[in-house]
Structure 1
Amino acid sequence: MSSVEQTQPLISHLLELRDRLLRCVVAVIVVFICLVYFSNHIYEFISKPLVERLPEGATMIATDVASPFFTPLKLTLIVSVFVAVPFLLYQIWAFVAPGLYKHERRLVMPLMFSSSVLFYGGVAFAYFVVFPLIFGFFTAISLGGVSFATDISSYLDFVLALFLAFGIAFEVPVAIILLCWTGATTPATLREKRPYIVVAAFVVGMMLTPPDIISQTLLAVPMCLLFEIGVFCARFYTKKESEVEESDS
């Protein structure tokens, strides 16, 4: 095969990758345009778990002149990416699918769907369960002569970090299924290492969450439960010998 013939498939793949990246960008922009009018309402919704628990007379503040304008827009852009995640994953799937075996395509599509659901589930868990607890705890702690006033930009960075931490942590079953399916490990091996996994979950919770025991525990416990779910489901995705021979051929 000549170098020209080898170059043509590479160029076609790069062109397809460019087109799909452009589609992803356009999708996020379209969602952003649809949501930008509701930017302030979106921020009010995200800040509700803290605002409802502020001490009487306390409010959120803006320490930067442009924060009341740019902070809701920043949140809206990130929400637009979250909303467009299914479409973004579909573009990834459409790009890699032609290079996969039939049994691999049957595996990847359900995993992409479940990973989206799990990520959204992690974000929802953080908002509806974790935020009320940790903000109730923080606002209950008062120091003499210190007024509780949270900057809106700092609050956004705080909650986005938690959203990302819980969203990624809830992907544990997908990660376990992929590891078992590729042969990197087995469900039996993971069950034997369960005590180490539990310790690792609390270490990850300590690293990904703010330095308080409540949010660390609320992240570690679901990770342990999701680990058990992943180990159970991985039994059905263990690569069979026939599939190994097919991939090696």
Structure 2
Amino acid sequence: MKDEEIDIIIHFEEMRKRLIYVLSSFLIFFFFSFVFVEDVYAWLVKDLEFKLAILGPGDILWIYFKISAVISVAFTTPLTAYHVWKFVSPALQNHERKATFMLIPALFLLFIVGISFGYFLVFPIVLSFMQELAGGGFQEFYTTEKYFSFLISLTVPFGFLFELPVVVLFLTAIGILNPQMLKKSRKIAYFILTLTSVLITPPDFISDILVLVPLILIYELSINLSSFIYRNRIQNTEVF
């Protein structure tokens, strides 16, 4: 067997091992999250002005599964980043290895910040708009499954979007991205971000702006951070 084929097999074996670690971590976090999920559910609904309904005995179980999955994803994210770092670190220089490793905790923090942004700002605006749209012509009736599916769809995406700067930093540090690529893609990126803000918010200008402006700022911040890392990478100096 050729050396190249042996290297490919070794890389795939390493990737498989890392994927198993990540999946195992997710399942462990999911289990512990499920133990405390009732307390999390009680906190999420404590300020609601209406009662949530269930249409079947299995509904609440699925909601507990979804909440536990979101919590598990949050805690698994930095571990996933760590295993990605371990997988690519042999190809990095020593200063690149140190710099990219320091980015890992930021993924968890930014995920939490993103979800908080969606939960405390975007979700109340969207829910209020939907309730006003219903007006007095409809009997409002919220099932637990529909409410939490709606809540998760408006919060979790922001968790991942807010991680964009760290992802860009990492990809720039390992040579996959550079600021020139990001600048050339700015128009396309703006279009995608605008489309995203329109799709996940009510059809009113204020809600769109409330979501679009932070997303654009995150993209521009990503470009600036990429430029900083790229200059230091070219100069082969310590980033941090």
TM above 0.5, yes or no, is: yes
Contact 1:118 1:167 in 2 (8 A): yes
Where in structure 2 are the equivalents of 1:198-209 lying within 5 Å? 201-207=193-199, 209=200
Shift of 1:111: 3.9
Selected match of 1:71 from 63, 71, 74: 63
Shift of 1:90: 1.0
Q: Percent identity?
A: 24
Shift of 1:218: 2.5
Shift of 1:195: 8.2
Tell me, in whole angstroms, the C-alpha distance in 2 between the residues paired with 1:215 and 1:11.
50
Contact 1:115 1:174 in 2 (8 A): yes
Residues 169-216 of structure 1: per-residue CA shift (max 9 Å, x gap): 2234345554696565439x84x9978866653333113x14443543
Tell me, in whole angstroms, the C-alpha distance in 2 between the residues paired with 1:128 and 1:6.
52
Contact 1:42 1:76 in 2 (8 A): no
The two structures have a TM-score, normalised by structure 2, of 0.77
Q: Does 1:153 align with 2:165?
A: no
Partner residue of 1:25? 23
The two structures have a TM-score, normalised by structure 1, of 0.75
Tell me, in whole angstroms, the C-alpha distance in 2 between the residues paired with 1:73 and 1:198.
35
Structure 1: unaligned runs, 5 residues or longer: 244-249
Partner residue of 2:213? 221
Larger radius of gyration: 1
Partner residue of 2:8? 10
Residues 94-153 of structure 1: per-residue CA shift (max 9 Å, x gap): 122113334542443244443333222111111222233333343345433522221211
Contact 1:169 1:219 in 2 (8 A): no
* Residue correspondences, number: 232
Runs of 4+ in 1 over 6 A off after TM superposition: 192-197
Q: Which amino acid aligns with 2:11?
A: H
Structure 2: unaligned runs, 5 residues or longer: none
Q: Which amino acid aligns with 2:29?
A: V
| RMSD between aligned residues | 3.2
Selected match of 2:53 from 61, 66, 72: 61
Selected match of 1:92 from 72, 79, 84: 84
